[in-house]
Structure 1
Amino acid sequence: MPRILIVEDEDIIRSAVRKLLQHAGYDVTDARSVEEAEAHDPDQFDLIISDLRLPGAAGTEMITRAPNTPVLIMTSYASLRSAVDSMKLGAVEYIAKPFDHDEMLAAVENILARQPASQTERGNGETSSTETSDPSQILFGQCAPMQKVFTLIRKVAPTETTVLIQGESGTGKELAARALHLLSPRASKPLISVNCAAIPESLIESELFGHEKGAFTGAVSARTGLIEAADGGSLFLDEIGELPAEAQARLLRVLQESEIRKVGSTQSRKVDVRMIAATHRNLKAMTHTGEFREDLYYRLNVMQIRIPPLRERQDDILGLARRFLRRQSDRMGKPNLQLSPESMRVLERHRWPGNVRELENAIERATILCDGDVITPALLDLDSDGGDEHIPRTLVEGDNEPATREVDAASDLSLEDYFQHFVLENQDRMSETELAQKLGISRKSLWERRQRLGIPRRKPGG
């Protein structure tokens, strides 16, 4: 059983992380400071999880005081740049607060999977390399589309090729990126994950490339960027379609010349980074509208891996559900939980617009609510949304001819891309009520999606 040491001065956070890891089957010890952690002989642990800011010595001190143990740094978003600096000092990974349980467990599992067998499996004779010897150990999939994905990952992971991962939200694009990194020669180096949509546009260049002191208002000291922090390892750019135009131009320079220049600096420096990008949007269509640079698209699209939506993985639905159920039942102390036959049929019939993430959430919800040992369809609660967020039947079953033609024309688009395409194509000849009916949603949902996607309503006579 792997041993983990938590170093965190906030009682609530320390207790929550300890309980989470204990429920996941780890042997956990905790401390409030670096000095208290030293009393536990930190070099005897398989992993140290430390807050960055602690009373007394900083959390990064654990890197030097336990040189043979990997250190995962926890940090708030406000000090994210300091976390990048900790990666340069030798931390294996960082995780930003607030984090969800699955994010923490995934980070722990991936770090331990990279360690030698003597560290992660003390005395049981198993080798940790089996955990990362194949993408099927990181991603689940027995259907033909997922087997194709695994074959592509096996072939491209050992290379230095730039990879573009495409797929709808919730399909597991970040897990595919982790598989590519862990199966590559760079596995012992950091994998830096960046959600391009989550960083404010005004900060994206500073976050990616770093900045010099005085480069802009508030730049009181020089900072290392995320690309530089990934030097020697891999950089995963999620939702790359949200990257602003100026940052796209600078990223193209990184791909072409393998060098970066900090904001406010006149000097460039070489970096050795393997680039992995992901998006749920149609980047090729975005190049036609000028939203995405065509030259950057072709630089990124050397090798493309498409993660299929869950509705195309019918043979995997029950396997994934059982996998999530085992994880949740172990975590919540309900080891005898099982799905009723009716629940299995409901899971197989559902269209899963939220993909694997929606399935995992449904199982977690049902596990919490279940008072006995059998999960019923009512506990899954899959039909309570009123249908607005589900794929309209006309878009997937060809119930009417116009909708079928539209789907054929946009078969390679995500649902949001299809929505935008359909509205822009038809809003001049259809009322809002007609558009909503064709899309199978309410007028309110149509208005909300217009606002989210930035599609203005065409005024009469405009």
Structure 2
Amino acid sequence: MHCLQLSNIEFDMTAAKHIHPETDAPFVEAFGGWQDQSILIVDDEPGMRSFLQRTLEDRCSRVEAVDSVEAASVLLDSRHFDLIILDNSLPGKSGVEWLHEMRALGLHNDVVLITAFADLETAIHALRAGAADFLLKPFRVNQILSAIGRCFDRTHLRRENFILRRELDSHVDFGVDGLVGNSTALQPVRETIKRLATVSSTVLITGESGTGKEIAARAMHYLSSRSGNHFVPVNCGAVAPDIIESELFGHVKGAFSGAASSREGLFFYAQGGTLFLDEVAELPMAMQVKLLRVLEEKKIRPVGAEREIPVDVRVIAATNRNVEEAVQEGRFRQDLYYRLNVVQVHMPPLRERADDIPALAAYFVRQLAPQLGVPPQQPDNALLAAMVSHAWPGNVRELRNLIERWLILGNIPEIAIGSKSVAIDNGSDVSLQAIEKQHILKILGAADGNKTEAARRLGLSRKTLERKCAEWGV
């Protein structure tokens, strides 16, 4: 018996039937079912369309069927489908030919190709066109369900692996709520997050670096109906301007030098879930225009593609910049600002929620001590008092790093907890002017030399800060 095996597809060329290790036992969908999945059927045989619809409509959230590739193209322009079941023998244009064209235009959907005729040439063309699986007519119910299940499983695992890699890279820790503490400044944030979790409106989270903007965005996602899908974070300021469009929207093969194959973007991985655009104010102006269009049209266009792809993604953006000032200076589009700022959540700096510092310190000790392999000791009252009195220019992130350093070394350098520790540790008098200079320069350093941002954190005017820097020769 002559068999052909290409990629994950195996054909028995003699018996002309599709073979996979499967049984006649009831098929059980992996990953808790397909309730959120949508399927498009493209077949010109009314009987086959009816059979597939009856088989799938109780298993999936949405199943639609058309009799031509022209009708399929119209549907794909208006809505997203997780999978396409495509007949190869269609009037005017074969399924494989249409799939080749759609892949070149930016279509990334998984496709199961079905056909009444199997030969080596058709199989090769199907694989080259990007078909995920291949079935020969007639087939049993469990065969089509197995093929669909494999496609959904591969997509799920691909997205899962992608998200896990990003989680490991970001080292972000979060719980169901994600926010530690019960200070007065934190309560309105908690209440707002709970309310925003019930809707899909675009949200802009503002606040200084290290205040927990991503934690707040994650809380909105995991408390929402989108929690069954992925939360995809991206730091817009960390992606090179020349590749940010491909990173977000994906690209087709040959779209630019080095694009040897098509690639899905972050909007694809966030499908049905949430895309978190951190440091959104760092986006290049050209990218701001394209993001605005995506927010308004709910469609993306991969780089080099000729067609737009519908997406169902909630966008939450965040920035530590003064966006209104950036708009006035022409560095950020006003229309995009209004589109992102449907609802704004401001994360308070740690100095405004000093009551939460003991709870945060205890939380970080519980979290870090097992990772470091050290005893989970707690800060004494003197250390807590010094922490509470510190200005925390790096906010919660700085506190976490300080606790980690304390657990490792058993002490904290003077500079780490600010002016109060200088007086305590040195046992010597330090002038108010020296403390002021040390504190201002520290805040200026934390703001990467940005005097406007440092002045805002310090509660000073920029002119006052510039005058002091001039006096110190900075």
TM-score, structure 1 normalization: 0.59
Q: Would the alpha carbon gap of residues 89 and 229 (structure 1) be closer, same or farther in structure 2, given more than 3 Å must change?
A: closer
CA contact (8 A) 2:232 2:274 kept: yes
CA contact (8 A) 1:363 1:380 kept: no
Amino acid at match of 2:209: S
1:6 alignment counterpart: none
1:382 alignment counterpart: 417
CA contact (8 A) 1:353 1:391 kept: no
Shift of 1:93: 2.2
Looking at structure 2, the residues matched to 388 and 216 of structure 1 have their Cα atoms a distance apart, in angstroms, of 53
What SS does the aligned partner of 2:277 have? strand
1:331 alignment counterpart: 371
Amino acid at match of 1:185: S
Counterpart selection for 2:469 from 417, 436, 451? 436
2:402 alignment counterpart: 362
2:440 alignment counterpart: 392
2:280 alignment counterpart: 240
CA contact (8 A) 2:366 2:376 kept: no
Query: Are residues 1:151 and 2:191 paired?
Result: yes
Task: Give deviations 1:282-324, integer Å, cap 9, x for gaps.
Answer: 1111111110010000000011100000000011111111111
What SS does the aligned partner of 1:99 have? helix
Equivalent runs, 1:249-264 vs 2, <5 Å: 249-264=289-304
What residue ranges of structure 2 are gaps of 5+ in the alignment?
A: 1-29, 31-145, 423-433, 444-450
Shift of 1:354: 0.4
Shift of 1:351: 0.7
Query: Are residues 1:93 and 2:126 paired?
Result: no
Equivalent runs, 1:50-449 vs 2, <5 Å: 91=161, 93-96=163-166, 99=169, 102-103=171-172, 106=173, 132=176, 135=177, 138-335=178-375, 337-370=377-410, 381-383=416-418, 391-392=439-440, 414-415=453-454, 434-436=467-469, 443=473, 446=474
Q: Would the alpha carbon gap of residues 159 and 92 (structure 1) be closer, same or farther in structure 2, given more than 3 Å must change?
A: farther
What SS does the aligned partner of 2:417 have? coil
What residue ranges of structure 1 are gaps of 5+ in the alignment?
A: 1-42, 44-63, 72-82, 111-130, 371-375, 396-409, 447-462
Shift of 1:329: 2.4
Task: Give deviations 1:6-39, integer Å, cap 9, x for gaps.
Answer: xxxxxxxxxxxxxxxxxxxxxxxxxxxxxxxxxx
Task: Give deviations 1:88-124, integer Å, cap 9, x for gaps.
Answer: 5554823249836x43xx3xxx6xxxxxxxxxxxxxx
Q: Would the alpha carbon gap of residues 97 and 325 (structure 1) be closer, same or farther in structure 2, given more than 3 Å must change?
A: closer
Looking at structure 2, the residues matched to 290 and 88 of structure 1 have their Cα atoms a distance apart, in angstroms, of 40
Shift of 1:389: 9.9
Looking at structure 2, the residues matched to 207 and 239 of structure 1 have their Cα atoms a distance apart, in angstroms, of 15
Looking at structure 1, the residues matched to 341 and 252 of structure 2 have their Cα atoms a distance apart, in angstroms, of 32
What SS does the aligned partner of 1:145 have? coil
Amino acid at match of 1:392: I
Amino acid at match of 1:95: R
Count of residues in Structure 1 that have an aligned counterpart in Structure 2 = 308
Amino acid at match of 1:342: A
The structure with the largest alpha-carbon Rg is: 2
CA contact (8 A) 1:342 1:377 kept: no
Looking at structure 2, the residues matched to 171 and 203 of structure 1 have their Cα atoms a distance apart, in angstroms, of 28
Shift of 1:334: 3.3
Looking at structure 2, the residues matched to 286 and 390 of structure 1 have their Cα atoms a distance apart, in angstroms, of 29
CA contact (8 A) 2:374 2:408 kept: no
CA contact (8 A) 1:87 1:93 kept: no
Task: Give deviations 1:126-175, integer Å, cap 9, x for gaps.
Answer: xxxxx63xx2xx11121111111000001111101111110100111111
CA contact (8 A) 1:87 1:229 kept: no
Looking at structure 1, the residues matched to 372 and 203 of structure 2 have their Cα atoms a distance apart, in angstroms, of 37
Amino acid at match of 1:382: I
Shift of 1:328: 2.2
Q: Would the alpha carbon gap of residues 179 and 168 (structure 1) be closer, same or farther in structure 2, given more than 3 Å must change?
A: same
Looking at structure 2, the residues matched to 318 and 283 of structure 1 have their Cα atoms a distance apart, in angstroms, of 32
Q: Would the alpha carbon gap of residues 359 and 215 (structure 1) be closer, same or farther in structure 2, given more than 3 Å must change?
A: same
What SS does the aligned partner of 1:304 have? strand
Q: Would the alpha carbon gap of residues 254 and 394 (structure 1) be closer, same or farther in structure 2, given more than 3 Å must change?
A: closer
Q: Would the alpha carbon gap of residues 417 and 293 (structure 1) be closer, same or farther in structure 2, given more than 3 Å must change?
A: farther
Looking at structure 2, the residues matched to 321 and 212 of structure 1 have their Cα atoms a distance apart, in angstroms, of 48
Amino acid at match of 1:174: E
Looking at structure 2, the residues matched to 306 and 86 of structure 1 have their Cα atoms a distance apart, in angstroms, of 34
Q: Would the alpha carbon gap of residues 305 and 164 (structure 1) be closer, same or farther in structure 2, given more than 3 Å must change?
A: same
Looking at structure 1, the residues matched to 294 and 202 of structure 2 have their Cα atoms a distance apart, in angstroms, of 12
Over aligned residue pairs, what C-alpha RMSD do you find?
3.8
